[in-house]
Amino acid sequence: MVCQCQCSTGINYDLIDRIIEKYQGQEGSLIPILHEVQQVVGYLPEEVQAYIAEKLEVPLSEIYGVVSFYSLFSTKPKGKFKVSVCLGTACYVKGSGQVLSELEKQLGIRVGETTDDGMFTLEACRCLGACGLAPVLTVNDNVHGRLTTDDVTDIIKKYKNL
């Protein structure tokens, strides 16, 4: 059965069906399907994973195994702005831990959480490959380097105003 509407959960199953149909019969299509569905839905909640499992006639545990293994997949909604603070050696030595603590304080969330207004998701990573700019964070694809805790307020303000 194909859902022709956007259901009460806000998930458009018709779009998910079209993504699945596009890969019908192709070997190794699970990751591309999950990736495209996540782009449409924003994340991969359990109900969407179960729907994909049913459509592909594979166990839900297989879907969940892939989703939980690869860090590019998320089972929770993400904010409009994904803030990733580098905790690699160079960044950490130059104060990224303090920058992260200040972000947690000002946003009112911990690493892995999203603000109630859906604006920011806070993450920590091991290396962004910009050690010469340490300490570094990214907001989506924008790099901010040579940071201090004093920079946090302006960074948050900049993105809140977009």
Residue range of the domain that includes 37: 13-69
Average pLDDT over residues 81-102: 97
φ, ψ at 88 (rounded to 5°) = -65, 165
Pair (30, 96) in one structural domain: no
**Residue 74, pLDDT above cutoff 70:** yes
Please give the Cα distance from 18 to 15 (Å, whole number).
Answer: 5
Pair (144, 90) in one structural domain: yes
Q: What is the pTM of this model?
A: 0.74
Q: How confident is the model at residue 9 (pLDDT cuts 50, 70, 90)?
A: low
Pair (55, 95) in one structural domain: no
Pair (87, 50) in one structural domain: no
Q: Which residues contact 29 (CB under 8 A, 6 or more apart)?
A: 23
What was the pLDDT predicted at 72? 84
Please give the Cα distance from 1 to 51 (Å, whole number).
Answer: 11
